[in-house]
Amino acid sequence: MAKLTKKAKAMAGAVDREKLYGVDEAIALAKTNATAKFDETIEVALNLGVDPRHADQMVRGVVTLPKGTGKTVRVGVFAKGAKADEAREAGADVVGAEDLLEIVQGGKIEFDRCIATPDMMGLVGRLGKVLGPKGLMPNPKLGTVTMNVAEAVKAAKGGQVEYRVEKAGIIHSGIGKASFPAEDLRANFDALVDAIVRAKPSGAKGKYLRKVAVSSSMGPGVKIDVAEVSAA
């Protein structure tokens, strides 16, 4: 195990690992501990009472963070004709069909979110092994397979984030940058948690929201009192 630097030890010492903090205090601590030379992301980890190996316990969806993500999101769109024009006008970074397929097959992926019109999915399906592992495969449940490409592009660039439970039953998601005002991070935190609570699957048994913690990219985790977050 790597040794902690003096700086890391000082940060960890400022956080009581056994204490359950209120949301506002936890966010304040995460901001205080964001001392890297770059603008760290403030991240939330939620431990859920689900087993994602079972289809009826999968938790996945999208949520729009009201204060944005602080990140520049590159959007790729598979579309033709008028829909391709709509995507470009809405601000899509890369738009194409067979030409975009060839570029992606060649290993060049210049987008962070991928949107497709339904008629393009036969084409996009051939990229499953490339886009799937990166979480970029368009999905109608996430609003990324749609005829309303302009709205989807604007949403992707306007603070919409995807969340998905991992094998251990944990969801990780950023809620903004350390430079954000604390009240903006709180607004984004509330929006994320609310969406995940509302997405509780039918197969979930017992306590759904078990643990919540917040941290900066390089800082220690700060545990949050779940009772303050939700009655889930």
Q: Domain ranges in the chain?
A: 16-69+160-229, 75-157
Q: How confident is the model at residue 199 (pLDDT cuts 50, 70, 90)?
A: very high
For residue 8, is pLDDT > 80? no
Mean pLDDT over 57-85 rounds to 95
Asked if pLDDT for residue 232 goes beyond 70, the answer is no
- Integer Cα distance of 227 and 22 in angstroms: 9
Provide CATH code, domain 16-69+160-229: 3.30.190.20
pLDDT range class, residue 7, cuts 50, 70, 90: low
pLDDT at 92 over 90: yes
Query: Strands, DSSP E only, in 72-217?
Result: 75-78, 94-96, 113-116, 160-164, 170-177, 209-216
Distance CA 108, CA 211 (A): 38
| Percent with pLDDT over 70 in the chain | 93
pLDDT tens, 9-40? 455 547 898 899 999 999 999 999 999 999 99
| Residue 169 to residue 52: CA distance in whole angstroms | 7
Instruction: Please compute the mean of the pLDDT values over residues 75-91 and round it to a whole number.
Output: 98
Name the CATH superfamily housing domain 75-157: Ribosomal protein L1/L10, domain II (3.40.50.790)
pLDDT for residue 1: 39
| Residue 215 scores a pLDDT above 70 | yes
- CB of 70 closer than 8 Å to CB of 39: yes
pLDDT at residue 149 is higher than 80: yes
How much is the average pLDDT of 166-173? 93
Whether the per-residue pLDDT at 231 is higher than 60: the answer is no
More confident residue, 7 or 205: 205
Mean pLDDT within 98-104: 96
Quote the pLDDT of residue 18. Answer: 86
- Angle among Cα 205, 160, 216 to the nearest 5 degrees reads 75
Average pLDDT over residues 35-49: 96
pLDDT mean over 65-80: 95
